[in-house]
Amino acid sequence: VLDRHARDGTRLVQILREVQDALGWLAPDTLTAIAQGVGRPRAQVEGTAGFYSFFHTRPLGEYRLLFSDNITDRMLGSHDLMRSLCHKLWLEPGRVSEDGRVSVDTTSCTGMCDQGPALLANYRAVTRLTPERIDDMVHLIRRRVSVGDWPSDWFHVDDNIRRRDVLLDHGLAPGAALAAALDRGPAGLLGEIERSALRGRGGAGFGSDIKWRSCRDAWGDAHYVICNADEGEPGTFKDRVLLSAFFDMVVDGMCIAGFAIGASKGFIYLRGEYRYLLDRLETRLAQRREAGLLGRNILGRGFTFDIEIHLGAGAYICGEESALIESLEGKPGKPRIRPPFPVTNGYLGQPTTVNNVETLALAALIAVKGGEWFRAIGTPASTGTKLLSVSGDVERPGIYEFPFGVTVAEVLQAAGGVDTQAVTTAGAAGFCLSAGEFGRRIAFEDVPTGGSIMVFGRSRDMFEVARNFTRFFAHESCGFCTPCRVGTAVNARLMDKLAHGRGSPYDLDEMEKMHRLMQGASHCGLGNTATIALRDMLARFRPAFERRLHSPDYEPAFDLDAALSQARQMTGRDDAGAHLTDNLSAQRAE
């Protein structure tokens, strides 16, 4: 493995993955050997191995099952299915079975929300779980059938494209956009991107022409293009479909970005959950090299550009561009201090443009059709179309392409949302709208979105939705800065406290305060946005929270009676008099 990666420390995440695949886990001696092999301190290699949730430094058995804990999978019964599987195999979630063969746990989201509930079996997605499928799985595990020999239809992933517009209906041949860009020349191409007013589709909406020009104008020994295919927002799966069904558009987009900024190398940072796509994408890149559409002297026009695929390892934070670059360099994916920005100091300190999969595919379309054509679609401030991943309580979950400016109500109507109570418009990190707001428009100037639209019907308990989101962020915070590390953990604990009937109005106030603090003081976008949906839900669905309160009056956040349980155990007393709450109630009654 080391030789295949030229003992290059920047390939550390890939090396760790491949070694783990071969040996089952990353033992201390293995980490030492890898550190020596790539010439990095052992502590650094151990730090990287410990950061990513798909790496394990203790044996977890030959079957590693991770059930998606995303709220839409939970709504489809994933938690009950996990409990059923654990019960049948005599297992506890989060632990390895006594014979050391099976481990079962949860993972934040598998990117299969349109065909859940789903799990990862040895990091391969199994979709459409049912009680019968779980029974069959138990049977196969008992018979020691390896995951590779499980029924192939269990691993089938549908694209579920429900509505096409200009991008999903483009009809361009592979390389057509590349040829058009070469004809236009770098300045002409940048001019078209500027005229199109294309904005990044990851959610922030930064102008693509500004990013590309800044990168092109920055001094460096080399320039790089990175395709951010690490979509990890709960409820989003649009990049999965673009990579699966429109990969040539994405590669053309990367090539033309390289042409515009003067780069000859690009990376696709592929989400670890989409590992099933890796071989297929590698094969397609090889075919393009043979066809003269990638590599040296592309289309015989003297332009050289090649692409490497880098597979992530289960860290949501790597969707943040500077964390993604750290990961590409073989380090834990912790966001960098900015400035400097990646466009001047990115991969290996060189000028780097990081673009979303959808942005690159749209850039390819603009190279052919022109900026004016694109600008006529959508709204003046949000040009073009947007891919929406719609999941939850709808009849037709899947991918919908709409021009910007479409209302939430129109999206719901297309997807078959009936009696909808709430919609989250950017996974766990964006607005949560209630029924009176469905006339609002999907656009950067009204409701911005990276593409995740999760729909909640009237029967859903919005408190449990919020609780799921707080757990997600507590798990995914990288721990680098205090407001986010502590704030996400405190919010998750407050929500658990409320869920167990021990909360007070003080706890609700605390969460509102935490929102203001984290939004203003966190180091990166994860912490800045982690409480937006929670804030919205507290404002719009407050009765769902208040129903959980132990008392409508103020009570101290610290549960002294619970904290004294250890003392009661030690003294062997558990009568009413040894309980603070009972004593207090008696005193109040008097």
Q: Which is nearer to ligand SF4, 484 or 495 (CB)?
A: 484
| Nearest distance, CB of residue 394 and ligand SF4, angstroms | 31
Looking up tokens 């550390």, which residue turns up? 12
- CB 320 → ligand SF4: shortest distance, Å? 7
* Residue from 522, 499, 501, 518 nearest 510 by CA: 518
Please give the size of the binding site for ligand SF4, defined by CB under 6 A.
14
CA 324 – CA 318 distance, rounded (Å): 4
Assess 197 for contact with ligand SF4 (CB under 6 A).
no
- Contact region with ligand SF4 (CB under 6 A), list: 105-113, 151-159, 415-423, 524-532: 524-532
Measure CA of the first residue to CA of the last residue in the chain; give whole Å: 75
Q: Does 265 bind ligand SF4 (CB under 6 A)?
A: no
CA dist 246 and 174 (Å) reads: 9
The correct pick among 105, 147, 527, 548 for binding ligand SF4 (CB under 6 A) is: 527
Q: Which two tokens stand for residue 124?
A: 């391969």
Residue of 7, 42, 284, 485 interacting with ligand SF4 (CB under 6 A): 485
Q: Does 317 bind ligand SF4 (CB under 6 A)?
A: yes
Contact 414, 350 (CB under 8 A): no
Question: Could you tell me which stretch among 3-11, 54-62, 481-489, 571-579 binds ligand SF4 (CB under 6 A)?
Answer: 481-489
Instruction: Decide if residue 477 touches ligand SF4 (CB under 6 A).
Output: yes
Using the rule CB under 6 A, give the single segment among 473-481, 492-500, 547-555, 561-569 that binds ligand SF4.
Answer: 473-481
Tokens for 265? 């190398």
- Report the amino acid identity of residue 11: R
CB of 339 to ligand SF4, least distance (A): 16
Nearest by Cα to 416 from 437, 390, 387: 390
Decide whether 192 or 230 has the Cβ nearer to ligand SF4.
230
Please give the radius of gyration of the chain, using alpha carbons only, rounded to the nearest integer: 25
Residue with smaller CB distance to ligand SF4, 453 or 481: 481
User: Which residues have a Cβ under 8 Å from the Cβ of 478 and sit 6 or more positions away?
Assistant: 51, 315, 317, 323, 332, 333, 334, 335, 484, 526
Provide, rounded to whole angstroms, the least separation between the CB of residue 491 and ligand SF4.
12
How far is it between the farthest Cα atoms of the chain? 93
Find the shortest distance in angstroms from Cβ 336 to ligand SF4.
9
Q: Considering only residues 9, 332, 335, 403, which one is a binding residue for ligand SF4 as defined by CB under 6 A? A: 335
52 binds ligand SF4, rule: CB under 6 A: no
Q: Is 561 helix (H, G, I), strand (E, B) or coil?
A: helix
Q: Taking contact as CB under 6 A, which single stretch among the options 72-80, 259-267, 420-428, 519-527 is the one that binds ligand SF4?
A: 519-527
Q: Which is closer to ligand SF4, CB of 315 or CB of 328? A: 315
Q: CB burial class (10 A; 0-12, 13-18, 19+) of residue 17?
A: buried
What is the closest distance, in whole angstroms, from the C-beta atom of residue 480 to ligand SF4 in the complex? 4
Stretch that binds ligand SF4, among 2-10, 51-59, 131-139, 516-524 (CB under 6 A): 516-524
154 is written with which tokens? 């269990």
Among 522, 535, 536, 548, binds ligand SF4 (CB under 6 A): 522
H or E segment to which residue 76 belongs = none
Shortest distance in whole angstroms from residue 527 CB to ligand SF4: 3
Are 119 and 134 in contact by the 8 Å Cβ rule? The answer is no
**Residues facing residue 294 across a β-bridge:** none
Look-up of token digits 């099933």: 276
| Of the candidate residues 524, 532, 537, 549, the single one contacting ligand SF4 (CB under 6 A) | 524
In whole angstroms, what is the distance from residue 335 CA to residue 326 CA?
A: 8
Q: How many CB atoms lie within 10 A of CB 95?
A: 13
Does the protein bind ligand SF4 through residue 472 (CB under 6 A)?
no
- The answer for residues whose C-beta is within 8 angstroms of residue 1's C-beta and 6 or more apart is 15, 18, 19, 22
Identified binder of ligand SF4 from the candidate list 526, 532, 534, 537, rule CB under 6 A: 526
Q: Is 479 in the site for ligand SF4 (CB under 6 A)?
A: yes
List interacting residues with ligand SF4 (CB under 6 A).
Answer: 317, 335, 477-481, 484-485, 522-524, 526-527
